Amino acid sequence: MTQKRPQKGDYAEYFEKYIALVPSGDFLELLKQQREDLLGLLSPLTGEQGDLRYAPEKWSIKEVIGHINDAERIFSYRLLRIARGDQTPLPSFEQDPYIKTGNFGARTLKDLLEEFSAIRESTIALVQSMDDAAWLRRGVASQREITSTAVAFIIAGHVRHHRILLEERYLSARAHA
């Protein structure tokens, strides 16, 4: 399923950094491949490595995965509401309180990755359920108009953004330690 890219004006400028990271091609395959890539990248890590922070006060790898999980749930919920034609404005969310109360450090990396896999499977099922009209629907999230297509691309781009950070800042730091 090759999905047409969202256009400027379909989303708040802030989200461009995520949308720009989404390559062209089969969107469903991209979502599936992202799941496999992230699991492949992080599954070999030990529990101790899951607690790695690349700098003091930065999130641990487990907190990054917890954040990815929370954000995908929230963005998928937005996608559902907008794709189904719900015009109720959707609130924004602040990520830092989610990290503080998520208790991700007490969980295993394996558990967090299994949770990511389950959430992503749900996102894939939602995307598969969408017809052409659903992809074009508009709604309001974080006080800005946005299309279903843009929300879907934000989901994919957000994971890609964090995977890049994991590779460049966390796993390269581990390799040089």
| Half-sphere exposure (Cβ direction) of 135: Cα atoms closer than 13 Å | 16
- Residue 21 CB neighbour total at 10 angstroms: 17
Per-residue pLDDT of 61-80, as tens digits, reads 999 999 999 999 999 999 99
Distance, in Å, from the CA atom of 71 to the CA atom of 158, rounded to the nearest integer, reads 8
Q: Which CATH number characterizes residue 96's domain?
A: 1.20.120.450
Residue 176 has pLDDT above 80, yes or no: no
149 lies in a domain? yes
Structural domain boundaries, residue 104: 13-176
pLDDT tens digits, 38-59? 999 999 999 999 999 999 999 9
Residue 8 inside a domain? The answer is no
Q: What is the pLDDT of residues 92-104, one digit of tens each?
A: 999 999 999 999 9
Tell me what the pLDDT averaged over the chain comes to: 95
